[in-house]
Structure 1
């Protein structure tokens, strides 16, 4: 169940989501192609989580259309579709006693634990161990989730998302709770994905420009549920756009491929 040919990995057209008479997002349109790495930015309440839920086939639009991997939401088995989408969320519930290998295997089932009678295939096990090794977790393969550091958990969640060999990877504030070193290690991993999986499309949600990998190719900035700007990252992430979206004057700079933001307001 995947998109084919030149069909976008994700296509959102004139979408709105309405809850209790309130538009959480409205007039949203965006196409994400294979190999593109998108940043989804905006202040709290801008609609980032809602758009990510649509992208992950976890929510239906009230108006408009959403195609994920070539399949239109509302005309496809959403649960089956989700098994072909990688999702990284540091707030995911994971059974604390599971070792790293089993945590990664839960990604095949989109579950917090493994069913007692379920057995992975040899191919599943091989792919799991290859991912664990490539993400630097081979020495922790049997370590329980409960004793892993936040950085190790972050890398395990990326392996868990990749084990289904997705065409779309969604990252919901993946550096939440990480210290500086762990954050940089995780961002290096995301950069390496560009080489390891050049066809993989991704959407990363964050509040902080410093948490974007240098490999980011596109950006969509939301404000009050609507698109403030969308397109090539070099065209979108500028001081004016980000200042208007967050309602505060900031200065955006990019050095060695990474972004930083500082307040441009004068303090008296």
Structure 2
């Protein structure tokens, strides 16, 4: 049996006569952690929406968790996917624990008269601890920092125990401390959930978790490169993808970008 959780084959997406994605293919296996990289308008978000079973391709095929889009109830399929959208807002005043519990029902608010089981309560508390939020468990959403909100949403997405986790620019708007706390916890998550596959969208190499295993570079709706991260995130590839000459450095499993020519003091 294949351990692939995503199979995208020769996908093209056309909207209002414009090709947003063109002949893109991607296969993600259990335990792999992919980064979708590219400049604004490259097609990253459109691809992520298909991986999350929110959109259909114009041509080509997309299989998510073994089900082909167009032949499956999209809403039912989304229940098995952990989708982290930093723009998500809870419906009404909720605490961190309550927001995480809404992941069990895939709703923006607690369902009236619904009571979580003891196992669900225990899982919510485990995830809250895993994401470094135990001290904020009973805090209201409105008083959380942006970084704490992001980690809360990751815990929420993990409540149904998905096989696939999708992260849409999770470090957007975070200060240095918030970003580092987020990446530290995502790294821990990846190490403690060996069968979980993930796909993260960003256009900043500094936002990549150290456990990233694979990457795809998108430019103008086309995949320029895809495969093991050390083969894809290279100085020539990134310079071409973003149409700007840079040098790519990696130290202690983290990436950084420098000017193409060393600056003289």
- TM-score, normalisation: structure 1: 0.95
Structure 2 stretches of 5 or more lacking a match? none
Secondary structure of residue in 1 paired with 2:188: helix
CA distance 1:256–1:203, change in 2 (3 Å): same
Pair 1:160 & 2:156 matched: yes
Task: Judge conservation of contact 1:96–1:146 (CA < 8 Å) in 2.
Answer: no
Pair 1:151 & 2:125 matched: no
2:96 to 100, 105, 119: 100
Q: Which residue of 1 aligns with 2:77?
A: 81
Q: Which residue of 2 aligns with 1:44?
A: 40
Q: Which residue of 1 aligns with 2:239?
A: 243
Structure 1 residue 89 displacement after superposition? 1.6
2:196 to 194, 197, 200: 200
**CA RMSD, Structure 1 to Structure 2 (Å):** 1.4
Residues in 2 aligned to 1:161 and 1:136: alpha-carbon distance in whole angstroms: 15
Pair 1:258 & 2:254 matched: yes
1:172 to 165, 168, 174: 168
Structure 1 residue 265 displacement after superposition? 6.5
Task: Judge conservation of contact 1:57–1:73 (CA < 8 Å) in 2.
Answer: yes
Aligned length: 263
Task: Judge conservation of contact 1:85–1:168 (CA < 8 Å) in 2.
Answer: yes
2:226 to 225, 230, 238: 230
- Cα deviation 1:29-85 (Å, max 9, x = unaligned): 010000001010000000000000000001011100000000111111110111110
2:51 to 37, 43, 55: 55
Structure 1 stretches of 5 or more lacking a match? none
Residues in 2 aligned to 1:206 and 1:123: alpha-carbon distance in whole angstroms: 34
- TM-score, normalisation: structure 2: 0.96
